[in-house]
Chain A
């Protein structure tokens, strides 16, 4: 087994693992707002890790370029979809997009970089 094979295997484990983490999270939670978080890792880490694995095995090939393009599409559109779904859920709940006055009382100010 060469270094390249080990790298490919590690990247595939990371990519596939992130997707399965999402599937497990989807089962574990009931609230749709919580479930939406678990669609994230598979959309971001999954395609990047798998595209990287393809590039390790076949650098500068048609396969590598196309897998990078797939990763770019998923990376750009995945977060947008999560936002759109969550927003649609809220509009469905309340009839229109609205921030409640009791929610506004809990307004926070972002300060230093921390998540």
Chain B
């Protein structure tokens, strides 16, 4: 099932890239997709990249465009003030509580990975890593905000 899903996605990507519907291209795409799906299945069987996100984490996506544009505007302002008035640019580290951080199961790993991506997509902050024993995430923020950045997809 997993193999078939990957095969379909890979074949779809091949057809999008070649943008033709000739039989030869479809056959070549099917073979290449089979190789890709086999590789993905082998990775999954060996447990090299456990990743099992929750569907409800997608609800984080709509807030991202506004945050990206707002943060970019803040950085532009910071740069203008720096060049015009010599104001220093100094980011700082913030230690943010991240409940239930520890664990190597696919769900927890996916949560940390998605939190890392969510934290870094907006330019004003990014996640350096997690301390699983203390349930915290280390975040670096350029323009300080009153509240720490929101990075937990399951919050």
Contact = CB atoms under 8 A, between A and B. Distances in A.
A35 B75 CA distance: 12
A114 B80 CA distance: 24
Contact of A107 (B75, B95, B140): B95
A92 interface: no
A86 B140 CA distance: 9
Given A69-B17, A114-B150, A115-B122, A38 B75 contact: yes
B71 interface: yes
Nearest to B83: A28
Interface string B52-73: 0000000000010001111110
Interface residues of B, number: 52
B120 A83 contact: yes
Nearest to A77: B117
A18 B72 contact: yes
Contact of B150 (A25, A66, A99, A113): A113
Q: How large is the interface on A (under 10, 10 to 19, 20 to 34, 35 or more residues)?
A: 35 or more
B122 A28 contact: no
B119 to A, nearest CB: 8
A40 B69 CA distance: 11
Contact of A108 (B67, B83, B94, B123): B94
Given A80-B117, A115-B145, A34 B124 contact: no
A62 B95 CA distance: 45
B89 A79 contact: no
A33 B148 CA distance: 17
A82 B124 contact: no
Nearest to B16: A65
A37 B75 contact: yes
The 5 residue pairs across chains A and B that have the minimum distance between CB atoms: A40-B123, A79-B120, A62-B19, A99-B131, A114-B147
Interface of A: 18, 21, 24-25, 28-29, 31, 33-34, 36-38, 40-41, 44-45, 62, 65-66, 69, 75-76, 78-80, 82-83, 86-87, 90, 97, 99, 103-104, 106-115
23 contacts: A21-B76, A28-B83, A29-B89, A34-B91, A37-B124, A37-B142, A38-B75, A40-B120, A45-B69, A62-B19, A69-B16, A80-B120, A82-B126, A83-B127, A83-B129, A86-B128, A87-B128, A87-B129, A103-B93, A106-B95, A113-B63, A115-B70, A115-B145
